[in-house]
Amino acid sequence: MEFARRVRIVRRQALDRYRSLARRPHPAGDSGESSSADTALVSVVVPVHNAMPYLAELLESLENQDMDRQLFEVIAVDDGSTDAGGRVLEDFAARNPNARVIHQPNSGWPGKPRNVGVAASRAEFVFFCDADDVLGPEALRRMVDYARQHGVDVLLPKLVGLGGRGVREALFEKTLLDAPLRTAAVSLAPQKLIRRRLLVDNGIRFPEGKVRLEDGIVVSQCYLRSRRTSVLADYDYYQLRRRDDGGNISSRPVVPEDYVRSVTRIAEIFAQGAPDPRTAGLLVLDLYRRKCLRFYEPRRFARFRRPVQRRWVLAHAAFVERFITPDLQRQLGEANRRKTELILARDAAGMAAYCASEARGR
């Protein structure tokens, strides 16, 4: 048995070397198609920008996958890194023929690198992975096996926090073969296994440039187009990292008008694509709770300077007037109803006073 295993390894390594030598011509800055380009069931698309030293740990977790290397490939798109990340990626591709590295000028956000990665893939599925996170060693095999067995278009694997990063643990309490739309929509993050044809056939692309919630804009469209969306909670598939250097995009300063513009786009997607008006309203209300009202958590709102507090209230007022009908407002809890009234009144000073009172427990 040991001899046979060694023979299989040597044959696979020889085949990898042959395929790497036979890669098609490619432009400068592109290592060319991986040895698994024609056989991969899943392409792991990784946008990379100044992610060292975390990138090395991600790449190690990809090397340690227990899936046959001819059945997956890694497409890493270096978005103008100025640290050692570009060289680390080149070394990784040299060791792993099933990897492809594409270098491009910095685009400012992960949207364009992800689009480039999808365009470079021919696999049945793509999995969007961030450069500072980590995959469990069985993650790719288990996700792909489940999705292929059950005809899944969008798969939400169990996420766990790393370095104090919070995750929505309740979403991953149990596996759901057919996850309700509202359940899945709790997560708009990109770390999902998605059938590539779903993206290509429906022209779903990430907004490019510095667009907040660009991942949510894509994932919300995928949910509405998916024939089957599943939650897979039987294994710790993916570790989301909270970076010590504050490099997570989510930790960067938020421009109120830009942020609310992206939330508005997601609300439009839900409103236009939901199966019925009631579902559309509930999806938008859930979005409002998660993405808008969180800025009025007492301590958070108090940290904003007064002009910024007013900008948040004004930006959200337009959103509420358009999407949060009186009927939806009545479904909010008492505190959030009051905050919504203050938003509609464009009363930033009143909001600050209410939040301060809430913080005192009154």
Kindly report, residue by residue over 6-33, the tens digit of the pLDDT: 535 444 544 444 344 334 444 558 999 9
pLDDT recorded at residue 165: 83
Exposed / middle / buried, residue 273 (Cβ in 10 Å: 0-12, 13-18, 19+): middle
The answer to whether 231 touches 176, Cβ cutoff 8 Å, is yes
User: What whole-number percentage of the chain has pLDDT above 90?
Assistant: 83
More confident residue, 357 or 2: 357
Q: Cα separation of 37 and 73, whole Å?
A: 7
Q: Cα separation of 347 and 351, whole Å?
A: 6
What band does 324 get if pLDDT is binned at 50, 70 and 90?
very high
pLDDT recorded at residue 251: 52
Kindly report, residue by residue over 219-229, the tens digit of the pLDDT: 999 999 999 99
Exposed / middle / buried, residue 344 (Cβ in 10 Å: 0-12, 13-18, 19+): middle
Kindly report, residue by residue over 157-196, the tens digit of the pLDDT: 999 988 878 888 899 999 999 999 999 999 999 999 999 9
Q: Cα separation of 168 and 23, whole Å?
A: 42
More confident residue, 8 or 278: 278
Structural domains of the chain ordered from first start:
36-249 (3.90.550.10), 253-361 (no CATH)
CA dihedral for 245, 243, 60, 49, sign (positive or negative): negative
Q: Cα separation of 188 and 232, whole Å?
A: 16
Question: What is the DSSP code (8-state) at residue 293?
Answer: G
This prediction's pTM: 0.88
Q: Cα separation of 173 and 356, whole Å?
A: 35
What band does 361 get if pLDDT is binned at 50, 70 and 90?
confident
And the tokens for 194? 């998605």
The structure tokens 């591709």 sit at 93
